[in-house]
Amino acid sequence: MDLQTVKQRFGIIGNSPLLNRALDIATQVAPTNISVLINGESGVGKENIPKIIHQLGARKHGPYIAVNCGAIPEGTIDSELFGHEKGSFTGAHDSRKGYFEEADGGTIFLDEVAELPHSTQVRLLRVLETGEFIRVGSSKVQKTNVRVVAATNVDFAEAIRSGKFREDLYYRLSQVPIYMPPLRERREDISLLFRKFTTDFAEKYKVPVLQITPEAEEVLVSYSWPGNIRQLKNITEQMSVLEESRSVGPDTVRRYLPAESFSSKPMVVARASGGSDFTERELLYKVLFDMKNDLNDLKKLVLGMIESGGRLEPGHENDALFERVFQAPGEFSPHPAPAPAYSGVIHLPQGVTRPSGPSHSGHEVVEESLSLVDSEKDLIRKALQKHKNKRRNAAEELGISERTLYRKIKEYNL
């Protein structure tokens, strides 16, 4: 079955290479009995993969059971998965089959499998290796023929290192791993999903379909979507219900987005403790910190010129220092010609001015602009030049969200 047919049958929207790769692997492993582990963030649509594997495989006429392991209390999860005998614990008034027994001959989907307690992990490993399990409160070994598909949004490498998940179970579950990409890694699909949701909600609530402007579409595509497809769907539903105008502009979209873009990838955004992008306050701290470093460099440079009799002595350290303080990299050489002899006055580069009033200690004092606005504009301009006006890369370099950078560009008319 080709990918387009699979997408239509299971209601999957998108054409990104990462999504197509995940669907291609799912269709290839469906006819086998190999265990599959789906990894991806919350809200990316991991639940579609086990349905595809089940419906396209030889077990499609058998039962399909989906279990959210994170939603079952630790004290009852063994009973839920493997069943229990009458009287095995308080409240066990009758014997009961577990999900593995009910799903015999079919497929069981274990969502959030990393939430399983250690004792349950041992039982699950036995099922995967031998097909055997024992009900809670029983000593009788039972057999089951079940295909296991598991999913999680947890970093297994870290979970194994911290002892929260068994390494041998991980290798049994991940005979074939499938990665479901987050929405920020398939931005070409965001507009398609938005239009699909607007059509669905227009039909559901009996309202005209929302129309989005190109500028608003750019805002949608540039947002990080930490909640992935689930978040996009919720925001689309809110706009479909609450907006009187059926034409959606960029300002309308921004009203429904959180003030800051949150990231659910802790290994990428490790520098922000709360998982959020840098705010304007952090940008201000960064500007002040950079200004302090520049001022210290300037002091070193002036002191070196005074000590050397008004000359900047050649040397790698002085070259780098001069270039860092006064020029963009590669634009200026600090000594194209011999410097004049020191005559009691330091000849400063263009753009560095002397303060008015009497000087102290017989030397001129270098004054540098301490305007935060000028420093911020300069930082933004340099970041844009460095990344050839690519706002996303420049925002990452500055440590701010792309929305904040966009607003600053408009504010400073850059």
- Torsion of the alpha carbons at 235, 241, 242 and 244, rounded to the nearest 10: 120
Question: Does 184-256 carry CATH code 1.10.8.60?
Answer: yes
DSSP 8-state secondary structure symbol assigned to residue 140: -
Q: What is the pLDDT of residues 105-158, one digit of tens each?
A: 999 999 999 999 999 999 999 999 999 999 999 889 999 999 999 999 999 899
Between 69 and 355, the more confident residue is 69
pLDDT value of position 386? 85
For 56-189, where are the alpha helices, taking DSSP H only?
Answer: 77-82, 99-102, 118-130, 156-161, 167-173
Fold adopted by 372-412: Arc Repressor Mutant, subunit A (1.10.10)
For residues 237 and 242, give the distance between their C-alpha atoms in angstroms, rounded to a whole number.
9
For 332-348, the DSSP string reads --S-SSPPPPP-SS--P
Q: What is the pLDDT of residues 10-24, one digit of tens each?
A: 999 999 999 999 999
Using DSSP's 3-state secondary structure scheme, residue 386 falls into helix
pLDDT at 335 over 70: no
Q: pTM for this one?
A: 0.61
Domain boundary assignment for the chain:
3-181, 184-256, 372-412
Query: Other CB atoms closer than 10 Å to residue 97's CB: what's the count?
Result: 14
Fold adopted by 3-181: Rossmann fold (3.40.50)
Q: What is the pLDDT of residues 30-80, one digit of tens each?
A: 999 999 999 999 999 999 999 999 999 999 999 999 999 999 998 899 999
pLDDT at 312 over 60: no
pLDDT value of position 140? 92
For 253-291, the DSSP string reads HHHHS-SS-B-S-TTTSTTSTTSBPP-HHHHHHHHHHHH
pLDDT value of position 103? 95
